[in-house]
Amino acid sequence: MAKQFGHSNIAVIGMEWGDEGKGKIIDFLAERADVVARFNGGNNAGHTIEAEGKKIVLHLIPSGVMRKNKLNIVGNGLVIDPKVLLDEIKFLEKNRIKISPENLVISENAHIILPHHIEEDKKIGGKIGTTARGIGPAYTDKAARIGLKAYELIDDAIFKKRFGSEEFYNEYRQYAENLKPYVNDASAIINYAIHNSKKVIFEGAQGTLLDIDHGTYPFVTSSSCIAGGVCTGLGISPKKVQSVLGVCKAYKTRVGLGPFPTEISGSTGEKIQKTGKEFGATTGRQRRVGWFDALIGKYAVMVNGVDSVALTKLDVFTTIDKLKICVAYKYKGNAIKNFTTNMRILQNCQPIYEEFDGWWDDIAKVRTYDALPNNAKKYLKRIEELLKVPISIISVGPKREQTIVARNEFLI
Ligand code: GDP
Ligand code: IMO
Ligand code: MG
């Protein structure tokens, strides 16, 4: 039985434009869990884990996989590229991480990415800078009710009827054969686990501002990335989600196009980009970098019902002289204090900042809140005040052990 801390389950979601460090935080918390269940997205995601001397980037398989004896569930809310999933299984096995139906379940209701989805994404995705993995077109077919579900992929009669004359038929028959043992009724399995008091982590991909409904549309992905997506993406009741952990970076980043009010240009931006190694885990694209935006933070707390925050990458700020937090936007001469997804307004907002003194002590080896430099504590306190939620975890490096737990009662 996993160790007892606060809640019996927790949703871990991104509070910004993705890449907040969800993979790292979920792997850290997975020690306390029995099940890790991902609820949205596809291989547009890249979740990095550095532990046990390995660095692993996961695209589809949940971030509990580096821990022994955990059940990892790929929910119905995902779109799955079967080739990518099988390659990921092979990659993990090469890294001596054994994958079997004992530790991996794929929802029979997840939708399948097919070659034409990828082709189409390559053609039309450029306008918003998608990852070109076929994500948008696959969700489009799902909504249009012409998509292919995992149970249909592995049912030879159904698949033959729909795709028997396609060039890719034989290739996909082989994928289906290899994936068959994993495909199951994920919703029933997860509800059974919850009913039997198992500890569950619900893993989000992307982040609040990439959410199809609540993000910076049209510069978003095509799935529900917010905490509400847990219920639709896994088939569980909202009454069952006990707590929400929002993962956010000490500064902000964004890959792809779209407005970014606190974006930093010049040498400080470059320094953060370099120290933070801000390159996309999926496409390798350079991430745009910006100061902490409290309007985004408050917005993410609101739409997700964030109970506490895991703040990552605090170490990247070490040796930066002055730090800034955006506390309002200036729009047409007025100050706005609440974030907006109205692009016409957001594109024309200028940030209003508060300034903070930085610190020079290396914090990468700090393991308690008390041992952090005073200026780092001041910065964290101000974020807690502005967002009106506690910071439960502070991450001071990419490795599993570079993690400070400040408040256990908000976790599992
Ligand atoms: P995710 O998509 O939210 O899981 O995040 P990614 O894995 O795409 O990007 C986060 C990057 O930051 C990865 O390279 C992590 O290894 C790294 N990372 C996570 N937490 C920290 C931290 O506290 N400090 C530093 N320096 N790197 C971190
Ligand atoms: P994780 O889970 C960062 C971005 C893309 C693009 C937009 C739409 O690692 O945080 P899509 O291919 O989804 O249609 O692209 O969304 N995007 C991400 N950015 N992290 C991600 O996932 C992302 N998944 C999609 O860059 O701007
Ligand atoms: Mg990522």
- State pLDDT tens for residues 84-110: 999 999 999 999 999 999 999 999 999
Residue 18 Cα distances to 147, 280, 344, angstroms: 26, 10, 22
Atom of ligand 2 nearest to the CA of 210: 16
Three-state DSSP state, 324: strand
33, 26 Cβ separation under 8 angstroms: no
Q: Provide the 3-class DSSP secondary structure of residue 292.
A: strand
Give the tens place of pLDDT for each residue, 349-406.
999 999 999 999 999 999 999 999 999 999 999 999 999 999 999 999 999 999 999 9
**At residue 83, what are phi and psi to the nearest 5 degrees?**
-65, -45
- Segment 258-277 shows an average pLDDT of 94
Under a CB-based contact definition with an 8 Å cutoff, are residues 306 and 389 in contact? yes
Ligand 1 atom closest to the Cα of residue 24 is 19
Examine the pLDDT at 29 and tell me if it is beyond 90: yes
C-alpha distance from residue 150 to each of 153, 218, 260, 296 (Å):
5, 28, 37, 36
Is there a shared CATH topology between the 9-244 domain and the 249-405 domain? no
Query: How far does residue 21's CA lie from ligand 1's centre (Å)?
Result: 4
Question: What is the domain partition of the chain in residue ranges?
Answer: 9-244, 249-405
* pLDDT at residue 271 is higher than 70: yes
Max Cα distance, the chain (Å): 67
Distance from residue 324's CA to the centre of ligand 2 (Å): 26
Q: Please, which pLDDT band fits residue 4 given cuts at 50, 70 and 90?
A: low
What is this structure's pTM? 0.97
* pLDDT tens by residue, 182-235: 999 999 999 999 999 999 999 999 999 999 999 999 999 999 999 999 999 999
Closest CA to 58 of 84, 96, 32: 84
Residue 83: its pLDDT value, please?
98
Residue linked to tokens 């290739």: 171
Q: Phi then psi for 192, rounded to 5 degrees?
A: -65, -45
The percent of residues in the chain predicted with pLDDT above 90, rounded, is: 94
pLDDT digits (tens, 9 = 90+) for 36-64: 999 999 999 999 999 999 999 999 999 99
Distance CA 385, CA 112 (A): 43
* Ligand 1: nearest atom to the Cα of 49: 16
15, 19, 48, best to mutate for ligand 1 pocket (most atoms within 8 Å of CB):
48
Tell me which of 312, 365, 404 to substitute to probe ligand 1's pocket, judged by most ligand atoms within 8 Å of the beta carbon: 312
Quick one: pLDDT band at residue 242, thresholds 50, 70, 90?
very high
State the distance from the centre of ligand 3 to the C-alpha of 155, rounded, in angstroms.
33
Mean pLDDT of the chain: 96
CA–CA distance, 276 with 296 (Å, rounded to integer): 20
Q: Which CATH number fits domain 249-405: 3.40.190.10, 3.90.170.10, 3.40.630.10, 3.10.129.10?
A: 3.90.170.10
How many angstroms is it from 18 CA to the middle of ligand 3? 6
Which residue spans within 147-278 are E strands per DSSP? Answer: 183-184, 200-203, 244-249, 252-254
| Per-residue pLDDT, 3 | 55
Substitution site in 221, 249, 313 for ligand 1 pocket (most atoms within 8 Å of beta carbon): 313
Helix or strand run (H / E) with residue 48: strand 47-51
**Residues framing ligand 2 (Cβ under 6 A):** 14, 17-19, 41, 44-47, 128-131, 133, 135-136, 205-207, 210, 221-222, 255-256, 281
Domain spanning 9-244, CATH class: alpha beta
Residue 13 near residue 63 (C-beta atoms within 8 A): no
**Which H/E stretch holds residue 179?**
helix 169-179
Count of Cβ atoms closer than 10 Å to residue 370 Cβ: 8
